[in-house]
């Protein structure tokens, strides 16, 4: 093969290679455009699914209301149901001081109401008996979501009785105790009603709405479940003790038999 033929062959090869790259890039671009079209269809279906799911949730939210009402009537027959439930909940109990618990002993009913369209927010109502801490019969907090999804909140102003403002007492305790103590002692549970600084991070409201409200009984019964486990452990320990005692008794009998045989041997 001549030098010129070799150059032509190499040039043609490079030309064919470049053409392959151009074809490959074109195919990739077309594939990306098709992927984008398919993705738009997926997004459209996701939006449609969200709308359908919301309609179903709205339907069943209405169907659940009579059962929530019946449950509240039954709970009212159990003294200290709600304060026990909150104390047994790991996240809520971390927010409760001793005086908070005392005040919550007057709590008779809790109601969570999602707004009719569900996606725009919810309200939590706390119903109290006459108590030594505040005048209110009902304390409420609402979380609202606007069209852009930004949350805002509003709540009942607590009418504290003289010298009984637990939120003020909490802040005074923290200021006296110093920075280190501030991290150890939580603010009063009732500060939640007055804190509107960051509704988007309203963890307590979300816990009550999504975790406690659907089934508060599971948290009310936590101590009983622990007691039952403790009783089972005690029974197991007693069983083991009985086995040990039986083993000791058998051992003593064997020793006595051995001693008797020795005595007989000496007599012989």
Taking alpha carbons only, the member of 151, 170, 40 closest to residue 95 is 170
Per-residue pLDDT at 207: 95
Domain boundaries, the chain: 79-169+187-221
**Packing angle, helices 81-88 and 222-267, rounded to 10:** 70
Instruction: Provide the CATH number for the domain formed by 79-169+187-221 in this structure.
Output: 3.30.1120.90
Per-residue pLDDT at 180: 40
Torsions phi, psi for 136 (to 5 deg): -60, 140
Helix/strand/coil percent split, the chain, to 5 = 65, 10, 20
Which residues partner with 144 through β-bridges?
Answer: 121, 152
pTM score: 0.68
Q: What is the DSSP letter of 209?
A: I
Taking alpha carbons only, the member of 170, 103, 111 closest to residue 142 is 111
Per-residue pLDDT at 129: 97
For the stretch 20-48, pLDDT in tens is 566 788 899 999 999 999 999 999 999 99
Per-residue pLDDT at 222: 85
Q: Cite the beta strand spans of the chain per DSSP E.
A: 107-114, 121-128, 138-145, 151-155
Per-residue 3-state assignment (H helix, E strand, C coil) for 99-138: HHHHHHCCEEEEEEEECCCCCCEEEEEEEECCCCCECCCE
* Lookup: tokens for 144: 């609202």
Please answer whether residues 153 and 141 qualify as being in contact, where contact means their C-beta atoms are separated by less than 8 angstroms.
Answer: yes
Per-residue pLDDT at 131: 97
Per-residue pLDDT at 179: 44
Taking alpha carbons only, the member of 193, 168, 190, 172 closest to residue 181 is 172
CB atoms within 10 A of CB 187: 18
For the stretch 44-61, what's the b/e string if a residue is b when 16 or more beta carbons lie within 10 angstroms of its beta carbon?
A: eeeeeeeeeeeeeeeeee
Per-residue 3-state assignment (H helix, E strand, C coil) for 12-38: HHHHHHHHHHHHHHHHHHHHHHHHHHH
Stretches where the chain sits below pLDDT 50 are: 1-14, 174-184, 268
């Amino acid at each position: 093969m001549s030098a010129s033929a070799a150059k032509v062959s190499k040039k043609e090869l490079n030309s064919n290679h470049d053409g392959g790259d151009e074809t490959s890039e074109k195919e990739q671009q077309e594939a990306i455009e098709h992927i984008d079209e398919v993705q738009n269809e997926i997004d459209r279906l996701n939006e449609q699914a969200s709308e359908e799911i919301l309609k179903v949730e709205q339907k069943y939210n209405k169907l659940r209301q009579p059962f929530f009402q019946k449950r509240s009537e039954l709970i009212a027959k159990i003294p200290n149901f709600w304060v026990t439930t909150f104390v047994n909940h790991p996240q809520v109990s971390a927010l409760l001081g001793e005086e908070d618990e005392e005040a919550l002993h007057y709590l008779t009913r809790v109601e969570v109401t999602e707004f009719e369209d569900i996606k725009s927010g919810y309200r939590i109502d706390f119903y109290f008996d006459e108590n030594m801490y505040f005048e209110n019969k009902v304390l409420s907090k609402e979380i609202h979501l606007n069209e852009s999804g930004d949350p805002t909140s509003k709540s009942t102003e607590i009418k504290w009785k003289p010298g009984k403002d637990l939120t003020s007492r909490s802040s005074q305790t923290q200021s006296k105790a110093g920075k280190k103590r501030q991290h150890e002692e939580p603010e009063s549970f009732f500060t939640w009603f007055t804190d509107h600084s960051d509704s988007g991070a309203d963890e307590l409201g979300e816990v009550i709405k999504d975790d406690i409200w659907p089934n508060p009984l599971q948290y009310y019964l936590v101590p009983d479940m622990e007691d039952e486990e403790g009783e089972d452990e005690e029974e197991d320990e007693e069983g083991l003790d009985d086995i040990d005692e039986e083993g000791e008794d058998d051992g003593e009998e064997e020793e006595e038999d051995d001693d008797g045989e020795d005595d007989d041997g000496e007599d012989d």
